[in-house]
Structure 1
């Protein structure tokens, strides 16, 4: 058997979860596979936030429990649960808008509740239409919240350690954005960062 190419990362789990959810409308067994991808996606997004943080111990980056990962991310980012907008300005002109979109407390709760559906069901589970409707709504809500969490390109809250003169910012960028940043660095243009905070939108 050949190894299957399996694309990892929160955005890939989200894409698969959405496809499986759509199939679940006609065949309910796909809801369970969608739930698994959603659970993977939440865990992966937390890890993506942690993996570049040098002040976080490696062991803490390897966790898998949603509640534990949530606490680690909150501690790593000094308790910040807000959306962070970072505007890069060069030569007086804005050149890029970067955004940190958190795993919200509601999405964390959804991830924890998904455990109820990722074990063999008891005799009383999913017997009635109302129970299936609750499961469907949980998935739909979770996928929407994960879509928001994956929409930002900052892989963490911009932080500067006490006494440090530099601040490390980690982000995922497209090729055209990388070209802009490289041009700025090559020309040694002064780059100004304007940071603002906002509550995550009510989806």
Structure 2
């Protein structure tokens, strides 16, 4: 979504600010990342069936998360959906949740986004902990933002978020227009901490 208040936009600014190492910018990175988590939760809530406008417009992470868990019933579970057409074409989509660890990090940023004592900021652990949470949080939000499924409920209809030039768009459109096909799904819930390997930016 091309918007300054989309989750992916908050994430991009958080990563840029955090990469500088400047202490003041680390605080702003925490703000951007926290807003990105709220935004991603709202992007799911906006298309969830049975969610009221007031529920979708909540800003508290705990309340948004509870709303989405009630609508999707997945919590920290990932979902892979495969669409296979009878003409042999197939494509796959993923639902990656805003998981409980990412929510915890975003809420802990509240400790850094209010006035703190001069003594506390002199402690190197204050900044090392913030850097660590930013690194982990940015990776987890980036994973959540790779999710093409904003509404991952087969029974209520899937809601995709795809770029218009994505080749999967044509497959979905052909299925909607009547070409025979079927969906299959696979769920998995990771345990323990994440080790995330994201592609390196293109250096060309």
Cα RMSD (Å) of the superposition?
A: 1.8
Structure 1 SS opposite 2:162 = coil
* Equivalent residues in 2 for 1:93-104, closer than 5 Å: 93-104=88-99
Q: Alignment length, in residue pairs?
A: 190
- Higher mean alpha-carbon deviation, 52-61 vs 34-43, is at 52-61
Give the Cα separation in 2 of the matches to 1:146 and 1:80: 15
What corresponds to 1:164 in structure 2?
none
What corresponds to 2:152 in structure 1?
157
What corresponds to 1:147 in structure 2?
142
TM-score between the two structures when normalised by the length of structure 1: 0.87
Q: CA deviation at 1:74?
A: 1.0
Give the Cα separation in 2 of the matches to 1:177 and 1:54: 24
Unaligned runs of 5+ in 1: 161-166
Give the Cα separation in 2 of the matches to 1:119 and 1:159: 42
Unaligned runs of 5+ in 2: 196-204
**Any idea what the Cα deviations from partners look like across 1:26-67, whole Å, max 9, x if unmatched?**
x22110111111001100010011101131111100011111
Asked if 1 retains the 8 angstrom alpha-carbon contact of 2:89 and 2:171, the reply is: no
Asked if 1 retains the 8 angstrom alpha-carbon contact of 2:48 and 2:68, the reply is: no
1:189 alignment partner, one of 173, 179, 201: 179
What corresponds to 1:39 in structure 2?
34
Structure 2 SS opposite 1:63 = coil
Asked if 1 retains the 8 angstrom alpha-carbon contact of 2:44 and 2:151, the reply is: yes
Asked if 1 retains the 8 angstrom alpha-carbon contact of 2:3 and 2:9, the reply is: no
Check 1:6–1:46 CA distance in 2 against 1; reply closer, same or farther (3 A cut): closer
